[in-house]
């Protein structure tokens, strides 16, 4: 299998939307509204200040994706990048697609002097956790918490 990693373009948006819907269903058993996801994907593809998508491309077909979003760290006076919307087509898993996407982002982060790369993973997803540990991630000392403020499906 031969593929390349590249920045996503607007032409990739339908596949990214499909992959995000699959990701939500596979990881959280959620059914998401494709129109809402499409608007969110278009917002990122249209404004790099919101985040960046990268895709693994095999002969013109997207087989995997990764998105980064940014967090400013005043303690480090630098950026922390968060990996999100990580998805690899089921028939291409365990073939180095995620590793290639991650290494691409890691290389880019080093050139941009990013302080850290972080991600969150489902507590029960032991296979993904093992993959991340093999790639050099460490378990963090804090527990992630959150609170929904608005219903994003209605309030964009």
Residue with more model confidence, 149 or 66 = 66
Cβ(50)–Cβ(156) under 8 Å?
no
Segment (H or E) for 64: strand 61-73
Assign 5 to helix, strand or coil: strand
Whether 153 shows a pLDDT value over 90: the answer reads no
Question: Cα–Cα distance between 115 and 78 in angstroms, integer?
Answer: 6
Domains of the chain: 4-136 (3.40.630.30)
Q: Taking the CB of residue 102, how many other CB atoms lie within 10 A of it?
A: 22
Cβ(16)–Cβ(22) under 8 Å?
no
Instruction: Return the pLDDT at 124.
Output: 87
What predicted TM-score, i.e. pTM, was given to this entire model?
Answer: 0.89
Cβ(70)–Cβ(50) under 8 Å?
no
Residue with more model confidence, 139 or 154 = 139
Instruction: Return the pLDDT at 104.
Output: 98
As a whole number of Å, the end-to-end CA separation of the chain is 39
- Give percent of the chain with pLDDT exceeding 90: 81
The values of phi and psi at residue 85, to 5°, are: 50, 45
pLDDT in tens, 49-100: 999 999 999 999 999 999 999 999 999 999 999 999 999 999 999 999 999 9
Length of the chain: 156
């Amino acid at each position: 299998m031969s593929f390349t990693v590249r920045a996503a373009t607007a032409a990739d948006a339908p596949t990214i939307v499909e992959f995000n819907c699959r990701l939500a269903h596979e990881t959280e058993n959620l059914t998401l509204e494709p129109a809402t996801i499409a608007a969110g994907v278009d917002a990122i593809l249209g404004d790099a200040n919101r985040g960046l998508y990268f895709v693994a491309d095999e002969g013109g077909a997207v087989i995997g994706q990764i998105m980064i979003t940014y967090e400013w760290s005043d303690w480090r006076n630098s950026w922390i990048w968060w990996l999100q919307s990580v998805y690899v087509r089921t028939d291409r898993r365990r073939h180095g697609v995620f590793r290639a996407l991650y290494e691409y982002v890691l290389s880019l982060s080093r050139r941009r002097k990013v302080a850290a790369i972080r991600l969150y993973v489902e507590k029960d997803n032991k296979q993904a956790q093992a993959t991340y540990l093999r790639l050099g991630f460490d378990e963090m000392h804090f527990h992630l918490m959150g609170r929904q403020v608005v219903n994003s499906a209605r309030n964009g």
